[in-house]
Structure 1
Amino acid sequence: MSRFKTAIIDIGSNTIRLVLYKYDRNEGLHEFGNIKKVARLRSYLQDNGEMSEEGIQVLSETLISFKKILDDFEVVDIQAVATAAIRQAKNKKQILSRMKKETGIKIDLLSEEEEAYFGFLAVAHSMDTPSAVTIDIGGGSTELTLYIDKKLQKTYSLPFGTVSLKQLFVSGDLINETEKKLLRQYIKKQFSGISWINDVKLPIVAIGGSARNVAQIHQHQIDYPISGVHHYEMHREDLIGLKGFLGDMTFEQLKQLDGLSTDRADIIGIALEVFLMLMEVVDSNTFQISKKGLREGLIINRVLQSNPDAFDKYNVFEENARRIVFEYGRTEEEGSTLQNLTENLYKECCSLNIVQYNEKYFELIKKAARVYAIGEYIELDSSSQHTFYLIANQSIAGMNHIERVKLALLASYKNRDYFRRFAAPFETWIDKDELKVLKEYGAMLKFVYALNISKRNVVKSIRLEKEDNVIVVYIEAKNSAMAEKYQAERQKKHLERIFKQPVKIEFY
């Protein structure tokens, strides 16, 4: 199918969530609705192993309310899945049968392996981390995977989550120091028994609400200059510091803390203990957050079944570039023209030894060319400011936060003054030498953009030649290129700063 509208209902041990998606072969995947109900179904499991009638009623009422939302949106294609809380209930068959009868929604009970696999699928298709250990800690179970070069190697499901650990170890609202000691001993024993995570020294990629909350609290704590938690990176000392910061707070203070969901105030400390113990066992100092998890894995799998070429986990940015370009009114042809001309000019500069070829920068400026000046969609006169904000402050799958800022600096380049202002909050992220290089490549993009100012894709190629003390830029164009000629003359100063020589423009 090249276009569809669907809903994923994720029945977890802590929350039940409805997410609405649209998919279009040209526009890509788009989330247009996200509704959460904190149900804590895990807490309704009784001593005899069955889920209580009260818990079943909570599930039924939640699904009925979701069904009304789906009817309003006219979504009939629904995939509902249940994980640990239902999986661990002895009366699971009766629960599934009743939900089908009472709500009209058929629920698929995911196995532990399936739950882990879909989490991996989401990470592999939304992050550029080539190899990692992933952890998805829910309310009633914790899924681990190991993947190498984006290929899944191992999966494992542990029979505990934040809610069940609280039930086992915590007597009050918050875990105390004595309880933490017992909790750490238990978790370490569980993790140490999994041979393939011991001392593998790979990054940890954390999935789920607890991981997102950890990132959000840390960002508030350090006054982080951009938004978004997807591909946010922390280190072990950051988590240790955060643990101390949260440990000094009362339950009421935690419920008021910016970045922390009120419904996770009592379990965030437990999640931190699990994350830190995993880092110790893996011997990892890198902790990354994936905003994409089980639900995204399910919808990606759904799309891939109907269109195997829809996503490329080895080139994650490409799909997102197409979505961004389309979203902000740029045609695919225009984006390709800008990228091809940028590639052309960069290689010509390398051939004359004006710049030294660098694969990392070459790939980055090609990406920036696709989204250069997308802020025009909002307002032409302030395009640069809008472009920087739009790119720096939205999650872009396949790019970490530093790379995202670099992309924003290149794609928003207007002049040296604007570049300096945009770069100022990130001087501890990017050193002066690299900022100088980025500024030059931004200037190159500014010139390339002038060559398609009419958006008619009339310029076909660029060639550079040295003639005495002048560099001549030969520009091949089809049809009338009057607007491009005028803009090229206006913007050639940007090339002259890079070349450190006079520039002459010749159209033919």
Structure 2
Amino acid sequence: MKQDLTTGIIDIGSNTVRLAVYQLSDNGAYRVIDQGRFASRLSQHMNEDGHLANEAIEELTDVLRHYRRICQMHGVSRIRAVATAAIRQSANRDSIIERLSGAIGIEIEVLSGEDEARIGSHAMLCTMGFKDGFVIDIGGGSTEISLLLNREVIHAVSFPIGCVNMTTRFALGTEPVPSSVLHDMQLFVRQQLGKEKWIEQYPGLPVIGLGGTVRALAKLQQREADYPLNHIHGYELREEEVDGRLNQLAAISVDKRKKLPGLSKDRGDVIVSGLAVLLGILRHTAASQVVVCGAGLRDGLFFETCLPQFRPQSAESVLQESIRNLTALYPTAPEDHLNQVRMLAVTLYERLSAKYSFPPQARRLLETAAKLYRIGTAIDYNNSAEHTFYMLLHTHWNGLPHREMLLAASIAAFASAGQLKRNLAPFRALLSEGDIELAARLGTLLQLAAALDRSEAQAISALDVLISGNKLLLIAHADHLLPVEQMEVESIAKEIKKAWGLTPKLSVATKFLR
């Protein structure tokens, strides 16, 4: 009998202890099936002599036992547990690891700062298409910075500055933080960064941010801006937005921060120090922007442990792997049919692009939509277009900026011009001029390509496309007539005429008939 491989990943961080349970199916599909999160604040439980307090170790032991039970419930085949800065920096590190491992029966690895940077960078490279940039991971007790050039890690370093120990160092209490203290925090961060000269030698690169501080900032910004898309992975922020948010949060008490919509209550007392670290990095690197990476250490550990051969070399390979994973998770159509629809859609696009102008990303959007247009039938065949749109906006996949993800979903789910406008109405703030017309045109091309393989027999070996007046002449190379495809083309002719001003006419080249 075929088996799924289920793996538990435990990250014992300085601020938070997290669990992620990943399921890897025999067809290569993978997904998270359970998660856990506990605000441990280990960095705040260090004695003056650098030892982690006994009470914190006992509490951590209970949390790890709980996570082990969750893993057992899911029938995990292996658990990989790692510890980061707080335990790494503890004077009693070895005794902590021995005690924890003995109590829960799981070997615990202590990651070096360089290990953290490498694994975090790997998570980003597997889920985002950036070629160059600084990858940063602001944790509770440390911050890792990697320099990425041509998708290779050139430098990596870990600094002992995080949202928890910075809060302790600068004695941030429950009251507002004075501007003088913010200034001192910035100065300290930049003094730390100045120890590595390469950090300031690549101005203008983006900063790709991992970790709870950056994610918390993104959620706050999205909530305030009423951002219409429920994704933080790939969300973009400017330096002035980080600066403004830092000053706003510093000016109010911890109690008021905890009541802010979108901010987790257990982050209210450490968010200011975390943002001070982030802003210091942005200024020191002279970064062009900060982009949120929703993946992190646990994801990097999963890829390293379970998919060691997956090392995407380009943005395109990130997108294609994400599409492959989605179609493996939701196998709603034969692969041969999806490939045929993609081929026909590209043929139509290339012929029409000789007469009509398209933006550079149009073909990528069409090909992406062609591979995913049937995914909504995983919910129900009826109203599958609506299900497709919903799933592609609420399912985890990578490789496209938010606006392009939205457009690809609307193209894949296209059923009519009216339905397209209704789908996109809540997302107007993300759209550019001409996007709705583009989605309608590409959506009808995808409709037409699907109609040309309605029998799912891949009967058309080649397609000639001619424009004659207001007619779109489709000459199919097939060895038999195509009555089902003929009816399908006729049924969508009105929508195609609305979008293109052309009426499609399908015929079969007679010399190919038996």
Whether the aligned pair in 2 keeps the contact of 1:173 and 1:251 (CA below 8 Å) is: yes
Distance (Å, rounded) in 2 between the aligned partners of 1:383 and 1:49: 59
2:113 pairs with 1:109: no
Matched, 1:197 2:199: yes
Aligned to 1:437: 438
Moved more, 56-65 or 241-250: 241-250
Change (3 A) 1:70 1:503: closer
Task: Give the structure 1 partner of residue 512 of structure 2.
Answer: none
- CA–CA distance in structure 2, aligned partners of residues 404 and 467 of structure 1: 34
Aligned Cα root-mean-square deviation (Å): 2.4
Structure 2 counterpart of 1:341: 344
Match of 2:232 in 1: 229
Aligned to 1:382: 383
Shift in CA distance, 79/478, structure 1 to aligned 2, threshold 3 Å: farther
Give me the whole-angstrom Cα distance separating, in 1, the residues matched to 2:36 and 2:502: 58
Aligned: 1:180 with 2:182: yes
Change (3 A) 1:48 1:479: farther
Please state whether the residue corresponding to 2:463 is helix, strand or coil.
Answer: strand
Judged with a 3 Å threshold, the aligned counterparts in structure 2 of structure 1 residues 428 and 57 are, in CA distance, closer, same or farther, namely closer
In the alignment, the residues of structure 2 paired with residue 205 and residue 145 of structure 1 have an alpha-carbon distance, to the nearest angstrom, of 10
> Aligned residue pairs: how many?
504
- Residue 9 of structure 2 aligns to a residue whose secondary structure is strand
| Shift of residue 499, structure 1, vs aligned partner | 4.8
| C-alpha distance in structure 1 between counterparts of 2:35 and 2:313, whole Å | 25
- Gaps (5+ residues) in structure 2? 510-514
Q: Which amino acid aligns with 1:249?
A: I
Question: Kindly tell me: are residues 124 and 65 of structure 1, through their superposed partners in 2, closer, same or farther at Cα, counting changes over 3 Å?
Answer: same
Q: Name the aligned partner's letter for residue 328 of structure 2.
A: F
Separation in structure 1 between the aligned mates of residue 433 and residue 184 of structure 2, nearest angstrom:
48
User: Are the counterparts in 2 of residues 22 and 29 from structure 1 also a CA contact under 8 Å?
Assistant: yes
Q: Percent identity?
A: 28
Q: Partners of 2:314 and 2:29 in 1: how far apart? A: 14
Given residue 273 of structure 2, which amino acid in structure 1 is its aligned partner?
I
- CA contact 2:326–2:397 (8 Å) conserved in 1: no
For the residue of structure 1 that corresponds to 2:290, the secondary structure is strand
Matched, 1:150 2:151: yes
Match status 1:210 vs 2:210: no
The letter of the residue matching 1:389 is: Y
After TM superposition, the structure 1 = structure 2 runs for residues 200-279 of structure 1, keeping only pairs within 5 Å, are 200-279=203-282
- In structure 2, do the counterparts of structure 1 residues 398 and 338 end up closer, same or farther at CA, with 3 Å as the change threshold? same
* Equivalent residues of 2:333, 2:374 under 8 A apart: no
Q: Deviations over 1:404-451 (max 9, x none)?
A: 111122112122212222333444433323432332111111211222
Instruction: Report which stretch shifted further, 475-484 or 238-247.
Output: 475-484
Structure 2 residue aligned with 1:317, among 316, 319, 324?
A: 319
Where do 5+ consecutive residues of structure 1 fail to align? Answer: none
User: For residues 36 and 488 of structure 1, do their structure 2 counterparts lie closer, same or farther at Cα, with a shift above 3 Å needed?
Assistant: same
SS at match of 1:435: helix
CA distance in 1, matches of 2:212, 2:469: 63
Equivalent of residue 295 in structure 1, options 293, 298, 305: 298
Q: 1:41 deviation in Å?
A: 1.3
Residue 326 of structure 1: how far off its partner (Å): 3.2
Q: Which amino acid in 1 is paired with 2:214?
A: A
Paired letter, 2:159 = L
Q: Quick check: 458-467 or 127-136, which moved more? A: 458-467
Deviation for aligned residue 1:146: 0.8
Could you tell me the TM-score, scaled by structure 1's length?
A: 0.93
Runs of 4 or more, structure 1, over 6 Å off, are none
